[in-house]
Amino acid sequence: MAREAFDAAVVGGGPVGGCCALALAAAGMRVALVGPRPAGPPAALAAGDAGYDLRVLALTRASERILARLGLWGEIAAGRHGRFRAMRVWDAASPAAVRFDADEVGEPALGWTVEQRCIVEALWRRLEAEAESGALALVPARVESLEPGSADDARLGLDGGGMLRARLVVAADGADSRVRELAGIAVRGGPYEQRAVVATLACERPHRLTAWQRFLPDGPIALLPLDDLHRVSIVWSTTPAHADALLEMEPEAFAGAVTEAAEARLGAMTLEGPRAAYALRHQHAAAYVEGRVALVGDAAHVIHPLAGQGFNLGLLDAAALAECAAAAWRAHGDPGAAAALARYQRWRRGENLAMGLLMEAFRSGFGARALPVRAARALVFAVADRCAPLRRALVRRAMGLEGDLPDLARVRCVEAAP
Ligand SMILES: Cc1cc2nc3c(=O)[nH]c(=O)nc-3n(C[C@H](O)[C@H](O)[C@H](O)COP(=O)(O)OP(=O)(O)OC[C@H]3O[C@@H](n4cnc5c(N)ncnc54)[C@H](O)[C@@H]3O)c2cc1C
C-alpha cells in the first residue's frame, strides 16, 4: 500500500466513515477507507437474554433514505428493527407533556430503532463486496501522521510504515479524532457531569410503537421501542454517582428504578441481560475543514444523546460532503478543492451547531430546578402540545423531511422499509 494515490481517503471505518466511503465511491471516485473494522460489542454486552445489542440507535427518515441510497437499508430493514409512530415527552417536575404523532404528518413512522451492530454488519458486508469488485480499497491500518503532499494532495502515514496520498482526506475517526488533531483543528466543549446507562428491558404493557422520554431532575430517561412490543432499550442520562449506583443494583432493584423513573407508563419492567454506561460530553470542532481535510460525524461534533441525533447528523455530514466533493471532482477532477470544502463547511457546521445548542438548552433547561425555569418549560410544552402547525413543523424537521438536505436524503427510494 506504499504511496498509493486516491481521490479520497476516509479515515475511520465506523458507521459514518463507512457510509461516507460508499457515497464517494458511488460517485465514481477512487476511494480508500483507512481503519480497522469496528469490533463488535464485547460478548458480555452483546449477548443479553434477548440477544439485543445494548447500543440501539434511533434513526430518522432522512437516515433511512441515505442508507437506502447506499444499498444498506434493505438488509437492515430485513433484520431485527423497531419503529416508532409516536413520541411522548413529559416532565417529572411539572404537568408539562407533549405528544408527536406520525399520523399528523401523514407518514407511516417517525423513525426506526436499529441495533448499532446491525448497521455496522450491513455496512461492512457492503464495503467488503465493493472492495472485492475493486470499487474501493480497504486499508486496515491506523493513521499516525498527516502532511501536505504536493500542491494537490495530502499524505497519510500509517502504523506499520505504509503511506498513501489523497486529494481529499475525510476525518471520520470519532470523538478523539487523530486526524483532526494532526490538522490542527481545535474543539470546544467538554465532558458533561453525566453518564448514560443503557440496558434492554421487558415491559408489562406494550410500548405501542411509541418512544417515551421523561425529563428527570438529573437527566432524561428514554425508552426506545424494539421490534417486540414488550421490549424497550433504555438510555438513562444521570449523574456519574447515580449511574454507578444503577449499574451496581441487583437486577430487580434496577428494573424497579426504571419502572419508577418512567412512571410505570409501560407497567412493571424486567431487566434482560447486561447494563453499561457511557460518559457523555459535548464538543464541536472550531472548523470542519483545514487544507484538504474535512471532518464528519463525531470527529466534528458530539452532542447529548437525549434526542438520538448524533449518528443521524453524521450521516447528513457524510452525504453533504460526498455531494460537494463529487461536484468538484466532476468539474475539475479535484474533490478536495478549497471551494468544495468551504461549501461543505458552510452547509453543515451551522446546522450541527444549532442542533448542539438546542440539545444544550434542553439539557440545562430540564436540569434547572428554579421555579421560573420550570414555569417556562411548562409553557413551552403547552404551546408545542396545543399548536398543531408548530408540532408538525418540529416533527418534519426532526424526521429529516425538511431543511437543507443533501440529495441522498431527499430522494424517495423504492427500497423503503416494510
Ligand atoms: C448512549 C448513546 C446513545 C446514542 N443514541 C443515538 C441515537 O439514538 N441516534 C443517533 O443518531 N446517535 C446516537 N448516539 C450517537 C452515535 O452513537 C454516534 O454519533 C455515532 O456512533 C458516531 O459514529 P462515527 O462513525 O462518527 O464515530 P465512531 O463510531 O467513533 O467511529 C470512529 C472509527 O474511527 C476509527 N479510528 C479512530 N482513530 C483512528 C485512526 N487514527 N486511524 C484509523 N481509524 C481510526 C475507530 O476504530 C472507529 O471505527 C448515541 C450515543 C450515545 C453515547
* Banded pLDDT at 418 (limits 50, 70, 90): very low
Residue whose grid cell is 455496522: 120
Residue 377 has pLDDT above 80, yes or no: no
Residue 367 has pLDDT above 70, yes or no: no
CA 225 to chain centre: 17
Residue 41 has pLDDT above 60, yes or no: no
Ligand 1: residue whose CA is nearest its atom 48: 14
pLDDT digits (tens, 9 = 90+) for 344-363: 999 999 989 988 887 777 77
The arithmetic mean of pLDDT across residues 91-108, rounded, is 87
Which tops the pLDDT comparison, 228 or 367?
A: 228
Report the share of the chain in percent with pLDDT over 90.
72
Which tops the pLDDT comparison, 16 or 353?
A: 16
The arithmetic mean of pLDDT across residues 385-395, rounded, is 77
Structure-block grid coordinates of residue 273 = 441481560
Residue 48 has pLDDT above 60, yes or no: no
Per-position b or e across 30-60, b if 16+ CB within 10 A of its CB: bbbbbbebbeebeeebbebeeebbbbbbbbb
Mutational test site, ligand 1, from 169, 298, 321, max ligand atoms within 8 Å of CB: 298
> E strands, 35-102, where?
56-59, 81-84, 86-91, 97-101
| pTM metric for this prediction | 0.93
The arithmetic mean of pLDDT across residues 120-125, rounded, is 96
The arithmetic mean of pLDDT across residues 168-195, rounded, is 96
pLDDT digits (tens, 9 = 90+) for 279-319: 999 999 999 999 999 999 999 999 988 888 999 999 999 99
**Top-confidence range, 221-230, 298-307, 364-373:** 221-230
Mutational test site, ligand 1, from 52, 57, 352, max ligand atoms within 8 Å of CB: 57
Residue 380 has pLDDT above 80, yes or no: no
Element holding 273 (H helix, E strand): strand 269-285
Nearest to 121 by CA among 83, 79, 63: 79
From the alpha carbon of 144, which atom of ligand 1 is closest? 41
| Alpha-carbon span 49 to 46, nearest angstrom | 10
**Average pLDDT across the chain, whole number:** 90
As a whole number of Å, the CA-based R_g of the chain is 21
The arithmetic mean of pLDDT across residues 51-75, rounded, is 94
pLDDT score recorded for residue 4: 83
Ligand 1: residue whose CA is nearest its atom 52: 305
The arithmetic mean of pLDDT across residues 114-121, rounded, is 94
| Inter-residue contact 202 to 269 (CB < 8 Å) | yes
Domains and CATH numbers, the chain: 4-46+61-80+116-189+282-373 (3.50.50.60)
* Banded pLDDT at 412 (limits 50, 70, 90): low
Residue 250 has pLDDT above 70, yes or no: yes
Residue 118 has pLDDT above 90, yes or no: yes
Pick the range with the lowest mean pLDDT from 55-64, 249-258, 386-395, 397-406. Answer: 386-395
pLDDT score recorded for residue 49: 44
Dihedral sign for Cα atoms in the order 108, 321, 34, 282: negative
| Inter-residue contact 222 to 306 (CB < 8 Å) | yes
From the alpha carbon of 175, which atom of ligand 1 is closest? 30
pLDDT score recorded for residue 107: 87
From the alpha carbon of 309, which atom of ligand 1 is closest? 11
pLDDT score recorded for residue 362: 72
The arithmetic mean of pLDDT across residues 266-281, rounded, is 96
- What is the number of other CB atoms lying within 10 angstroms of the CB of residue 144? 15
Report the share of the chain in percent with pLDDT over 70.
91
pLDDT score recorded for residue 185: 97
In the structure, which protein residues have their CB atom closer than 6 angstroms to any atom of ligand 1?
Answer: 11-17, 34-36, 38, 57-58, 142-143, 172-174, 178, 196, 198, 235, 278, 297-298, 305, 308-312, 314
Residue 44 has pLDDT above 50, yes or no: no
The arithmetic mean of pLDDT across residues 38-53, rounded, is 61
Q: Give the distance (Å) from ligand 1 centre to CA of residue 66.
A: 17
Kindly list the distances between the CA atom of residue 267 and the CA atoms of 206, 207, 258, 261, in Å, as whole numbers in the listed order.
9, 10, 10, 11
Mutational test site, ligand 1, from 169, 223, 311, max ligand atoms within 8 Å of CB: 311
Element holding 277 (H helix, E strand): strand 269-285
* Banded pLDDT at 396 (limits 50, 70, 90): confident
Mutational test site, ligand 1, from 22, 60, 83, 173, max ligand atoms within 8 Å of CB: 173
pLDDT score recorded for residue 80: 92
Pick the range with the lowest mean pLDDT from 1-10, 32-41, 43-52. Answer: 43-52
